[in-house]
Amino acid sequence: MDRLENARALRSNKRCYVRFINSTERTVELTWINFSGQYVRYRILNKGNSVDINTYKTHPWIAKDILTKDVLHVDKNFIYLPKTTREYMRERYPGRSIPENHEARVRAHIMLPIYSLRYASLLCIRNHMLDPEDVDTLALPRNLSEELKRLIKKRNRECALQALELQNR
């Protein structure tokens, strides 16, 4: 997930037609990463819902759990880079002839990533703590305490940024 900090849209003229499908039981925030690397919330998707988006090949997208701010997978990646219909068809059906101007929506499924038991446990504990200093009350090894504090700070920072965005509207 370190690449999230460096992701940004690049100029492109290759159009992509995507259907983002929320395949989780969570409410998801679908976000485009713009040319400056800033996150632009595009849509909120409830479980099972989808949205059709016309975008470009070099425009990255991410999906986050709206409550926990955890980054989710879009087509098995934390950062989704759209593919043209032809690219998708070539990957999916190698050797098949694809008409030159064939366009269709490419499905991009939003799913929960598979975390290690250690990381999943830290996320679960984080969801029950408000302040990073509360971690000191737990009898955890120092490396786990530091990672848990980092996760709480990151979640709190993202929630505060979202609150500021809502205030400025």
For the cut 50, the answer to whether the pLDDT of residue 1 exceeds it is no
Q: What is the pLDDT of residue 159?
A: 81
CATH code for the structural domain at 2-111: 2.60.40.780
pTM of this prediction? 0.82
Rounded CA separation 15/38 (Å): 21
- What's the residue count for the chain? 169
Domain ranges of the chain: 2-111, 117-167
Q: What is the pLDDT of residue 2?
A: 45
Which residue in 27, 15, 36, 40 sits closest to 104, CA to CA? 15
pLDDT band of residue 52 (cuts 50, 70, 90) is very high
Rounded CA separation 38/36 (Å): 5
pLDDT band of residue 73 (cuts 50, 70, 90) is very high
